[in-house]
Structure 1
Amino acid sequence: RVPQVLSSAEEIAELYRELSQHPGLSTACLGPDVTTQYGGKYCSLYTEWSQRDLARAENVKFCRQYLIFHDGASVVYSGPAGTCSEIKDELLSRESPSGVLKAVLRKVSGKEKEKEKQFLEVWDENRKVKSIDLTALDKHGSVYDDDQFGCLAWSHSETHLLYVAEKKRPKAESFFQSKAPELGTSDEDVGHPKKEDAPLKVGSPHPRAGGGWQGGCGADRAVLQGEQFVYHEDWGETLSTRSVPVLCALDIEGNSVSVLEGVPEHLSPGQAFWSPGDTGVVFVGWWHEPFRLGLRHCTNRRSALFYVDLTGGRCELLSEDTKAVWSPRLSPDRCRIVYLENDALGPHQQCSRLRMYDWYTKHTSTVLEAVPRQAWGAFPGIYCSALPALCWAADSRRLVLDTAQRSQQDMFVVDTVTGATTSLTADAPQGSWSVLTIDRDILVARFSTPSCPPTLKVAVLPATGQEAQARWVCLQDAAPVPGISWGIHTLRPPPEQEHPQYGGLDFDAILLRPSEGPATQKPPLVVMPHGGPHSVFTAGWMLYPAALCRVGFAVLLVNYRGSLGFGQDNVASLPGNVGTQDVHDVQFCVERVLQEETLDASRVALVGGSHGGFLACHLLGQFPDTYHACVVRNPVVNIASMVATTDIPDWCLTETGLPYAPDALPDPAQWTEMLHKSPMRFVDQVRAPVLLMLGEDDRRVPPKQGLEYYRALKARGVPTRLLWYPGNNHALAGVEAEADGFMNMALWLLKHLRC
């Protein structure tokens, strides 16, 4: 008898509803220490979580507070303080350095036909002390709340707030606009500038002379003709409303907003903070000439670290200007700035360098180099999208970070003077560890596994040399999801598939399998390669794999060569070999796992998104006898047709193994090479039914890619179905699209694997 899996849509929907309710943990913030009358110390811990609300079809955010009693060396007692409550309409929030004030950027829906407004609020311990309508002030466009450019930074004096917003655009009208008869002209009508705000001097309650801040832009008030339909470039996937960012400061006392002058025209600023002494602003500047490329998940865009002086508006380069830099973090003693650095262009994600700039000596050193090969017991290298917002230890010498180490994610402490690294999680349970924050050496972390949703952990960072002895205390537990067992398999490609330049590389796969019920004996297998291609599955909580496992499928998450966490050689081995090396790694892994594990080899399916969809479509065509169903989300199917429509044309050339230059014109030989490496080349061999899911607003892999495959399959009589999700981009992460996508995926697999 065929082992049974869940098969009714009602049961699967109920299962998804239950698993999708596990909240994700996004941020944590420690309050100031309070000393009790008995001499003990405690502090509050504020945490933010997000959870899918299927009834409202949205993600809801909520907060929960905890108390941590500690003696400076260890956590004495910790526990929750009160219940959780939903957070409404907060876009950004940031505690002041002293912990006494909190700044909040809030969106407020406009009355009737008014557009949505943005307010900047300042709260003290028990009330709102300021509420400033930024929309009404009209100094800039929308404030950025993304994690690419966005920031909300307190000055060290706690008198000013720094943020990034869209530059104000002059009003434009038709050449044929009807005008009301003029009764009398005001200064504004004839384009006379309004009186400018006095420049800003931070640290003093009132502005003084000399400065690089401007208030109103008088010239902007002239209405321009012929400018209504001018094209404004943007920064691509998830950043389509971001074009020209400007740095802005709120003088809290004076209720005035100023826009920073002095940022060079060819740069887009972001990730900014106040310099030591509040004399100016440090920011990351991205080059946007000759045109903008997509930035999301692209840590290879030319950028550098800059300082703008408030007194003279002078802009100074603090890092090399030929690299890609991001995530600058100022030490507690305000003497050093660490940041991450990659080579510009090349693979979108790489093994990064950790660099440090000394504010007073102006000397830059390399704390950690890129690691060519991962070796157990040694530091694996840095593979992360950002450093924690607070990452420095109290000694201003050590810092903490998390990074992929093969197929798990671990936390390390780094000595910035010696470059020594120590794992904080080597003796802790295996899975995925992330640093949420560190303050006064109290370290807050998130931990999860493929069968255990996120939990909240806290420890005190031990003294230098004893970091490996960190003792973790669980503040918020989550019960493991029953019925899922998992393990990590390591594979070495066969000799004929070794890379000629990077020999001896291996790779991993994470296998989840049902551990309860009738499907445990010989479950069907769902093969899931990741996207990127330079990303990685770490052994943490993932809703789709966990839910598929509970339905009754074994799920194989493949970290083929080219994945992060295995050393820079592993990353470098893939460009030029997509469509062969990555495809063969996945197929080799599938064949090996089918040999070694009790799985049903007659019921194997593929699921993949983006580059994972590229691999799924390749595998369907290159190994049609292995796979019997397929689900792909926003797949790359034809690199040659993608290059002219994507926000990342450099990806198409780099992964094909070709050099990228902004002014290069594709020649027939290059187009041939791109097509040759694409799944479309093998579409004639595809037999398995294919379900496509496309995001209408996807800028990364535009939905035309999936449509191209859909038409090719239809023309060849292959059973195919297409789901089109409006208002969704590349990730298909809208709550409704994600839920509908899971249901359709599960039912498609059950139908075509004859479960």
Structure 2
Amino acid sequence: YSSGPPPLLALRLFCGAGDSENLLLGGARARVSRRPKAMASAHPSQGLPSGMDPSMVDEYASQSKLLQEFVKIPSIGKAWVFTSKDENASRAMVSVSQSDLLANKKRSFLLNTHISKSSSKSVSFQWSPFPVEMSGVSAVVPSPSGKKLLLVRNAEDDDSPTKLEIWGPCQLENEIHVARSVHGSLYADGWFEGISWNQEETLIAYVAEEPPQPKPEFNDSGYKKEGSSQKDFRSWKGQGDIEDSWGETYSNKRIPALFVANISSGEVRALKGIPRSLSAGQVIWAPSSSYSLVFVAWSDDNGFQETPRKLGIKYCYNRPCALYAAADPFKEEADKPSTDSNKGDTAALVKLTADLSSAFFPRFSPDGKYLVFISAKSAVDSGAHNATNSMHKIDWPTDGKLEGSLSVSDVVPTVMSPQDGCFPGMYCSGLLRFPWLSDGRTMILSSAWGSKEVILSINVAR
């Protein structure tokens, strides 16, 4: 911090700027004359920024050096641990970032390490000698086995495609260029974001901006019919229907929609049947089910008491949302009868949480028996931006058929009036992609507890 200018300088800043200055010293007025103008060239503050005293130069230099030392310290964004055949060894990949003062941006890197455990239960890390910079990468998502790596490079302008790079242990296995006519940039914001590999590591489901909607075109004769190939230099395009956005960081983004990419063929298919009144996100794969995808969807009528418009969603947990299940578009196409050509456009959605006003962060247990999720129903029902969360689970059917109503049970109920020194309720703003311990029943997450952030261990099988 800066201690500010010396007392005398502070007084001079509040006085007049004539040839002489009046200072109040101890209640008496004193007259102080400036140096003659002929000696101005010898003034030690010449060439310094306005209001900066020569005595402050060393302090500014010290503080700028301290700032440079601080920004050299990298910050950890995400980390992934991959098991190996040796129970005493595993591999890890860490995503780190570092501020670049000269370029005024953050630079991202990947670090790899081997983790080994000795007989004395001590753990050692063998880090790779240098990190690998991820320039222009919007998201890094390794496959469940750690044998493949997805790098997402969102389009830098309206004419560039979105790139999905599939990397293997030693090479680039495939690069998928997705045109804007298919979809826009992937959501990598931590809220709508959902990038998920299936267990076979052949398909990737993700959330991206829907393709641009066609805009009406006009010329001097009036409206031009769609599909007209006639070129007319006197024509112009309208803006189309105005649409609400989710505010703040989403003001320039189109509606989030779901897509699935086949990493071998490079084909990308949209998940049909989701109305445009729903904004989809947080997609994951379901285990052995005819409905292969589970995702969260927010309705346009998301305000308190179902206000018919989109209100800001950043840090606002009081927006109604629900869990849905849908079929994988690739599997659906394979199972579709040849005579039913329209089935792909009217695919059925199953609403899993019809009796809850809020459901998000879905996670399947490792054995596939439970679908666990967080709810902010107390915030939605009251209108408060944030309130105590609750945790629930759905017993996922073993045959994968979602027929009839699914029972939703409480894992951690809403705590409205906590006792002093007791559990105050759950306040969860994020969840790990794989939050499970080795027993497959215990989930780890962070939550606010008073003025602290703590780690909670929750057994979902009880």
Which residue number in structure 2 is paired with residue 128 of structure 1? 172
Which residue number in structure 2 is paired with residue 351 of structure 1? 388
Which residue number in structure 2 is paired with residue 30 of structure 1? 81
The answer as to 2:351 corresponding to 1:333 is no
The answer as to 2:454 corresponding to 1:410 is yes
Q: Aligned runs of 1:234-633 on 2, under 5 Å?
A: 234-277=245-288, 279=290, 280-289=292-301, 290-310=308-328, 311=332, 313-343=347-377, 344=380, 346-360=383-397, 362-373=406-417, 378-418=422-462
Q: Aligned runs of 1:658-697 on 2, under 5 Å?
A: none
Which residue number in structure 2 is paired with residue 45 of structure 1? 92
8 Å contact from structure 1 (residues 157, 278) kept in 2: no
Which deviations, in whole Å up to 9, do the C-alpha atoms of 1:222-260 show, x marking residues without a partner?
xx9864253222110111133322110112222211111
Give the superposition deviation at 1:177: 7.8
Give the superposition deviation at 1:47: 0.6
Give the superposition deviation at 1:73: 11
SS state at 1:323 partner: coil
SS state at 1:402 partner: strand
Give the superposition deviation at 1:146: 1.6
Distance 1:266 1:232, change over 3 A: closer
Distance 2:391 2:165 in 1: 35
Which residue number in structure 1 is paired with residue 215 of structure 2? 172
SS state at 1:31 partner: strand
Give the superposition deviation at 1:12: 3.0
Distance 2:436 2:98 in 1: 29
Which residue number in structure 1 is paired with residue 139 of structure 2? 92
Distance 2:61 2:252 in 1: 39
Which residue number in structure 2 is paired with residue 583 of structure 1? none
SS state at 1:153 partner: strand
8 Å contact from structure 1 (residues 159, 251) kept in 2: yes
Quick one: which amino acid aligns to residue 292 of structure 1? K
Higher relative contact order (CA 8 A, sep 6+): 1
Distance 1:304 1:83, change over 3 A: same
Distance 1:126 1:321 in 2: 49
RMSD: 2.9
Distance 1:341 1:108, change over 3 A: closer
Which deviations, in whole Å up to 9, do the C-alpha atoms of 1:185-225 show, x marking residues without a partner?
xxx9569xxxxxxxxxxxxxxxxxxxxxxxxxxxxxxxx98
Which residue number in structure 2 is paired with residue 19 of structure 1? 70
Distance 2:321 2:155 in 1: 34
The answer as to 2:197 corresponding to 1:160 is no
SS state at 1:395 partner: coil
TM-score (norm 2): 0.72
Distance 1:108 1:400 in 2: 35
Distance 1:108 1:315, change over 3 A: closer
Q: Structure 2: which 5+ residue stretches go unaligned?
A: 6-55, 230-234, 302-307, 333-342, 399-405
8 Å contact from structure 1 (residues 153, 161) kept in 2: yes
SS state at 1:19 partner: helix
Distance 1:22 1:376 in 2: 39
Distance 1:106 1:397 in 2: 36
Distance 1:43 1:72, change over 3 A: farther
Which deviations, in whole Å up to 9, do the C-alpha atoms of 1:631-662 show, x marking residues without a partner?
xxxxxxxxxxxxxxxxxxxxxxxxxxxxxxxx
SS state at 1:238 partner: helix
Distance 1:334 1:75 in 2: 33
Which residue number in structure 1 is paired with residue 53 of structure 2? none
8 Å contact from structure 2 (residues 426, 448) kept in 1: yes
Distance 2:214 2:453 in 1: 49
Distance 1:163 1:86 in 2: 24
Which deviations, in whole Å up to 9, do the C-alpha atoms of 1:701-724 show, x marking residues without a partner?
xxxxxxxxxxxxxxxxxxxxxxxx
Q: Aligned runs of 1:661-740 on 2, under 5 Å?
A: none
Quick one: which amino acid aligns to residue 360 of structure 1? P
8 Å contact from structure 2 (residues 392, 410) kept in 1: yes
Which deviations, in whole Å up to 9, do the C-alpha atoms of 1:281-315 show, x marking residues without a partner?
10001011321111111111000111113446211
Distance 1:108 1:287 in 2: 27
Which residue number in structure 2 is paired with residue 469 of structure 1? none
Give the superposition deviation at 1:41: 3.0
8 Å contact from structure 2 (residues 219, 236) kept in 1: no
8 Å contact from structure 1 (residues 65, 82) kept in 2: no
Q: Structure 1: which 5+ residue stretches go unaligned?
A: 179-187, 192-223, 419-755
8 Å contact from structure 1 (residues 119, 135) kept in 2: no
Which residue number in structure 2 is paired with residue 141 of structure 1? 184
Which deviations, in whole Å up to 9, do the C-alpha atoms of 1:107-155 show, x marking residues without a partner?
4657xxx74432011111111101011126x312222222121221111
Quick one: which amino acid aligns to residue 41 of structure 1? N
8 Å contact from structure 2 (residues 429, 447) kept in 1: no
8 Å contact from structure 2 (residues 218, 238) kept in 1: no
Quick one: which amino acid aligns to residue 162 of structure 2? Q
Distance 1:170 1:76, change over 3 A: closer
Distance 2:457 2:120 in 1: 17
Which residue number in structure 1 is paired with residue 10 of structure 2? none
Distance 1:351 1:127 in 2: 47
Distance 1:242 1:48 in 2: 26
Distance 1:249 1:240 in 2: 25
Distance 1:330 1:177 in 2: 58
8 Å contact from structure 1 (residues 284, 326) kept in 2: yes
Distance 1:104 1:177 in 2: 47
